[in-house]
Amino acid sequence: MATTPRSRLPGGFLPKSKVGQEPVTASTLGPPVQIEGKECGAQPLSFLLEVNVMLAGSLDAESVLGDVLVSLVESENLSRASFYRLNEVTGKLRPVASRGRKVGSPRTISLQEATVLGCAVKQKESIYIPRTAEDPRCLGFEPEERCYLAVPLRTTTRTLGVLEAVADEPESIRPLSRILIDQVATQTALALERGELYRQLRASEERFKAIFEQASFGVAVVRLDGKIHTVNPAYARLLASAREELQGKNLLDYVHPQDVPAAKQQLQSFLDAGSGRVSFETRYRPKSGDSGWCAAHLSLLHEGGNNPTHLLVIVQDIDERKKADEEYRRLQQQLFQAQKMEALGTLAGGIAHDFNNLLSVMLGFASLARQRLSTDHPLQDSLGMIEQSAEHAADLTRQLLAFSRPDQQQVKPVSVDAVLERVRRMVARTFNRNITVNVQKGGEALWISAVPSFLEQALLNMCINARDAMPQGGTLTLEATTTVIETGPTGLVGTGAPGCYASISVQDTGTGIAPETSSRVFEPFFTTKEPGRGTGLGLAMVYGFVKNHNGFVNVSSEPGHGARFTILLPLIPPPAPQVREGGLGQIAPGCGTILVVDDEPMVRAFAVEGLKGLGYRVYAAENGKQALQIFEQHRDEIDCVLMDLIMPESGGVETFRRMRALDPLVKVVFASGYSTGEILGDAPDARAVAFIGKPYTLEGLSIVLRKAGAGPPRCV
């Protein structure tokens, strides 16, 4: 009988010999085994050793079961021996090997059948039938099958099949043979279970390998000292490196330098804890290209109990998500900024309305007093200063209104070069002499559509901001050029669209602006100046002006190297030359009857007093309801109605419509401290009505009434 060389014996099946001792053989296994008073010598042990070698030498036990049966049949003088495997799902015994003199064709046996093999499996016990001819369970056996043994292939938890042994003489399977066959069954069961576990392990390894290799996220196995053991393709792609190149490198070598201290602390804290897992976000640094963001998840791998040997690092590229989050926060900040601007615009509108009513009284009565005094009266200069101050205050209220509602009635073509020159002269006269003012213009004339005073005020605000940034002096440069914006601009704030723009810049050589501050310079009431030197409204007004003129604004600066503020406004073609009307600014006396409607008593008193001084008869009403009553009674004699747009109960537009229902030819002049564009937006039938903005002077009032057609027809 052939034997397997000793070098093929795996460890764990037989005692290992120590160095200097003779090899382990059947003769060194101890004293002979006693069976029923008889000694079992070296031959049975040698047989079991041979079977053990055959089963242990193959990871697929079924492939050597035939050889085991050959040895068993020859050793125990059997006529036939067979192995059956149990399918635990179907409950059937499948023949896998059969050897002997009369093998035949073994068939698959169901446990539902009444067979000796099935009984042995179900009872989990060996069944020995010494004389088959006398046992009813052996009906159907062949005549030469006179002695029969069925031994289940059992482990500690399962029954994997059955071993069938047949002899052609009654009682010929001796007790010692039964013991040997039982040992063969036990060894076979263990080998079959080991083979199944090995196949499961290989399948698990293949699945893990497939997951490891094909995972879309990066996976790395890292030693506890931080050195990379192996990585999957996704991890290598993330770092733009070859897998072999990463082996042996330190995990932290591929973390962004600024994030290394935090990542190192996270890693050390996790290793000190010795269990669980940790997740954090950090920036990775690939071999080439820009750094990106990833989410890292760390857990420990253990071998041999609770001893950790490696780190399992799973990384997921979240750079796109981070960019999306940053874009979301940027848009959210822009929305918040727009809401603040809108809220300030609403506040400014309310302030401007009330403030203009007060200015109307001051400016009106000052102009009325100047009219009644002689031209050489000593108070003329004082009254003129009052008028000038009130007009400057009115300009401020118009700037406040520019945040949310531009005055469309005053928008007109504006020469950028002319405005720059006026601003230059004003700045040169008022700023300290240690500030040099330069103007750089393009080769062609630039024209925009704007409110001239608003553009001047915006540039002055930027110049004042530049002056305050140069307390020790420096250079202030005003520049105007043409810029074409082809796509949605980046880094610009505003509401413009692609097209040609006039780029107007104010640049200084001052202290500059910190990055964390530059994003807030256009916020209302935000200022870096000390208390008493800034209101935080100058640049906010610039933003409001640009927004309402469909333009952009931008600031570029570096601390210690000055700042450059730029506004971009849509270009328009140069307008045709126009002839200016004469006579404006002169009081135009009149005659006829005027109905004054205003809810502010002092404004109403000035209008009544001033119009009477111009020669008009005057009716006065404090609200729309009272005005309608007066108009119904005296509409045949009323030449024109001077009506405030904003009044409680019945506003100016509603009152105008009711008057027009009584007299379709009624002449009305609207007066308001607000812009008319937004107020009359839903009243197209009232847009053509004459308008005068508050505060107004007696001269302005007299001119607008004449333009509206009041007076002359009834004075003929």
Task: Please tell me the predicted confidence (pLDDT) of residue 148.
Answer: 93
Q: Are residues 99 and 120 in the same domain?
A: yes
In a domain, 117, yes or no: yes
- Say if 323 falls within a structural domain: no
Q: Is residue 324 part of a domain?
A: no
Q: What is the mean pLDDT of the chain?
A: 78
Tell me which of 263 and 407 has the higher pLDDT.
Answer: 263
User: Does 596 have pLDDT greater than 90?
Assistant: yes
The model's confidence at residue 87, banded by pLDDT at 50, 70 and 90, is very high
48/123 same-domain check = yes
Is 327 within the bounds of a domain? no
Calculate ∠ Cα 327-333-336, nearest 5°.
Answer: 145
Q: Find out whether 147 and 172 touch, Cβ atoms under 8 Å.
A: yes
pLDDT mean over 375-399? 74
Residue 355: inside a domain, yes or no?
yes
Q: What is the pLDDT of residues 399-424, one digit of tens each?
A: 556 544 544 446 788 888 888 888 88
Identify the pLDDT of residue 398.
64
On whether both 26 and 141 belong to a single domain, the answer is yes
What's the angle, vertex CA 697, arms to CA 693 and CA 698, rounded to 5? 125
Q: What is the reported pLDDT for 21? A: 35
Domain span at 674: 593-715
382 plus 254 within the same structural domain = no
Contact 72, 98 (CB under 8 A): no
The domain boundary, picked from 175, 200, 225, lies at 200
Ranges 159-173, 336-350, 373-387, 478-492, most confident: 159-173
For residue 45 the two structure tokens come to 């042990």
287, 258 contact by CB (below 8 A): no
Q: What pLDDT, on a 0 to 100 scale, did the predictor assign at position 154?
A: 92
CATH code, domain with 80:
3.30.450.40
Assign residue 343 the CATH number of its domain: 1.10.287
Given a contact cutoff of 8 angstroms between Cβ atoms, the answer to whether 483 and 570 are in contact is no
Where a domain ends, among 174, 200, 226?
200
Confidence of residue 212 (pLDDT cuts 50, 70, 90): confident
Specify the pTM: 0.44
Are residues 158 and 49 part of one domain? yes
Same domain, 193 and 227: no
The CATH number of the domain where 610 resides is what?
3.40.50.2300
Indicate if 434 and 547 belong to the same structural domain. yes
* Final residue before a domain boundary, out of 395, 428, 446: 395
Q: Which residue has the higher pLDDT, 591 or 36?
A: 591
Residues 346 and 430 in one domain: no
Same-domain check for residues 501 and 617:
no
Residue 205 within a domain: no
Do both 416 and 305 map to the same domain? no
Residues 542-584: pLDDT tens digits? 787 787 778 888 888 877 778 888 888 888 888 766 433 333 3
- Residue 576 has a pLDDT of 65
- Of the listed ranges 112-121, 395-404, 620-629, the least confidently predicted one is 395-404
Q: How many CB atoms lie within 10 A of CB 602?
A: 15
Q: In total, how many domains does the chain have? A: 5
Q: What is the CATH number of the domain that holds 560?
A: 3.30.565.10
Instruction: State pLDDT tens for residues 629-680.
Output: 999 999 888 999 999 988 887 888 889 889 989 988 888 998 887 655 455 5
**Whether residue 416 sits in one domain with residue 375:** no
Q: CA–CA distance from 149 to each of 38, 50, 178, 315 (Å)?
A: 22, 22, 8, 60
SS3 (DSSP) at 330: helix
Burial of 513 (0-12, 13-18, 19+ CB in 10 A): buried
Measured CA to CA in angstroms, residue 219 lies from 232, 294, 613 at distances of 6, 12, 92
Q: What was the pLDDT predicted at 632?
A: 92
Burial of 629 (0-12, 13-18, 19+ CB in 10 A): exposed
- 31 pLDDT exceeds 70? no
Q: Are residues 60 and 182 in the same domain?
A: yes
Nearest-angstrom CA–CA distance, 30 and 45: 11
Q: Mean per-residue pLDDT for 219-237? A: 89
Strand duo 147-154 + 127-129: pairing: antiparallel
